[in-house]
Structure 1
């Protein structure tokens, strides 16, 4: 089928040798019409003038696009570089966090061990304090404290104690009493208490028994030279000698007795005993927590 030359518009037959097709628009031309030589023509890449002009007109746009692409590629490389740096820093942070986490775990384990050891030491310390208190209280087994007896300058404490014994109907000689003396000064300017250590526990028990019988023992029961007119009606109290800890515990027990309407509180052989009423059991108060058991 004949075609026309896109330049001269004349027919081009299949037998014509001076013809060429544009590889871009596929239009057919006479080689003479497009001023092509007869030899050394690569017909596989040849483009007509119009197509060449179109391609050249697009080259600036392509150049701009390529420039933008190069810029984008450069920016992408910078971003990738920054991301890689961030990844490295994140990895470093993760390593630091892992080390800190391990250190924290070790410290927590150490704290837990220290708390366990501290708890054990506290229990051992409390047990040692209890044992020391028990030993100190045992050393006071034969001791009583007398309070409310007037104090005079250059007094003979042994004679004062013997006078108290006489008031109770009990004869106390020097062989019965190991030692006796006034304690440190009271803050309320009251006469200092007298501590008496008996040779035998039986004598101490008898002394306390006589005091329980004579419940209204007062300064008036003493000889005249041992009385003080200002406090002649004051009651004389005789109690078992307690350690500092047991005295504090006894004071708390008395406050608890008043608050909870506990009926009985007494001391026997250095032990603090409580009983809610006549029908309840007897509780030994060895620590403040034991008060909660009284019912």
Structure 2
């Protein structure tokens, strides 16, 4: 029969084993409980996720449906607008085709008119050039005729001289005045050597008949035109102008100076006037006439320039 000590020892072993079993049972239950709780939570989470997914899918389906409806409506509206645009474009195309046809015919008509006008203009241009050439030719002939007539007229004046600045006296004898002036030049002159002599006044071109502007005195007296019977007598008298000085005694009351000019034609007087203007402009020293010819000279060292037309004057610089 076991002793008390042995019983106590067995009891302690049993208690120890019970504690060990309790710990094992407790640990096993705890792990099972954890697993159960974990599975429950996972199941709950899965359910929630699935419900959420379902709700989101539902919303997405609704949103897609609504969007599809909106797109369908907008596409329908755009289709209508596109149809209207197509109709308008078609109308415009038809209208443009009509207008193009109209303007095309107008263009061709205008093009034909322009072609005709160009031909007319070409013909007119050709006629105008022909007319210009004929006009230039006629002008050339006219200038030649005028020059020839002017030269003939100038030859008829070769024996003439104009005397400017001789005071007019009562009951004067112009021929005697010329003879008196010749005597002052130590030149013997008789009435028989003078064809005619008289006074006259130039109206339009009096200012162009003399080279100087200090001619108030000579312009206040009518010009004496004297025609000699020979060119040699005229030339001798004309050369005496070089003897005239500021203190020259003419022996005529009130006479301070005497200006002698050749009796130039109207054309040559005008050209002579322009030559004197050019002389002042270019500061030439000499301008003169000889036998109806006009000359310019810059100085005594320069060559003499014959001025026979305005073109010659215009080329001088």
TM-score, normalising length: structure 2: 0.60
Please give the alpha-carbon distance, in whole angstroms, between the structure 1 residues aligned to 2:178 and 2:109.
Answer: 85
**Residue number in structure 1 paired with 2:293:** 271
How far, CA to CA, are the matches of 2:187 and 2:163 in structure 1? 15
Q: Secondary structure at the match of 1:172?
A: coil
Match of 1:69 in 2: none
Residue of structure 2 aligned with 1:199, choices 221, 229, 241: 229
Alignment of 1:25-36 (within 5 A): none
How far residue 82 of structure 1 moved from its aligned partner, in angstroms, is: 6.1
- Find the counterpart in structure 1 of residue 86 from structure 2: none
SS of match in other structure, 2:191: coil
* 1:87–1:249 distance in 2 versus 1, CA, 3 Å: closer
Deviation, structure 1 residue 195: 0.9
The aligned counterpart of 1:123 is: 140
Counterparts of 1:124 and 1:263, CA distance in 2:
35
Q: Distance in 2 between matches of 1:79 and 1:185?
A: 79
Shift of the alpha carbon at 1:94? 2.4
Change (3 A) 1:218 1:240: farther
Q: Which structure has more RCO (C-alpha within 8 Å, separation ≥ 6)?
A: 2
> How far did 1:241 drift?
1.5
Partner of 1:290: 312
Greater fraction of residues in helix: 2
| In structure 1, C-alpha distance between the alignment counterparts of 2:96 and 2:290, rounded to whole Å | 89
Name which of 151, 166, 183 aligns with 2:168. Answer: 151
Pick one of 153, 159, 169 that aligns with 2:186.
169
Change (3 A) 1:219 1:185: farther
Q: Which residue of 1 aligns with 2:113?
A: 96
Cα contact 2:287–2:297 (8 A) shared by 1: yes
Number of the residue aligned with 2:265:
243
* 1:144-191 Cα distance to aligned partner (Å, 9 max, x none): 111111112332111111111111112221220111111126676611
Give the alignment's Cα RMSD to 1 decimal. Answer: 3.2
Equivalent residue number for residue 245 of structure 2 = 216
Q: Which runs of 5+ in 1 are unaligned?
A: 1-71
Distance 1:77 1:185 in 2: 85
Give yes or no for contact 2:163–2:261 (8 Å, CA) kept in 1: yes
Alignment: residue pair count = 219
Written as runs of structure 1 = structure 2, the 5 A alignment for 1:28-47 is: none
Where 1:133 maps in the other structure, the secondary structure is: helix
Equivalent of residue 260 in structure 1, options 275, 282, 294: 282
8 Å Cα contact 2:160/2:263 also seen in 1: yes
- Superposed displacement of residue 283, structure 1: 1.2
Task: Please report how far the alpha carbon of residue 282 of structure 1 lies from its aligned counterpart in structure 2 after TM superposition.
Answer: 1.4
Label 1:103 to 1:170 Cα distance change in 2 as closer, same or farther (>3 A). same
- For the residue of structure 2 that corresponds to 1:175, the secondary structure is helix
Please identify the structure whose Cα radius of gyration is greater: 2
Give the unaligned 5+ runs of structure 2: 1-88, 207-215
| Residues 276, 294 of structure 1: 8 Å contact kept | no
Whole-Å Cα distance in 2 between the matches of residues 78 and 250 of structure 1?
Answer: 77
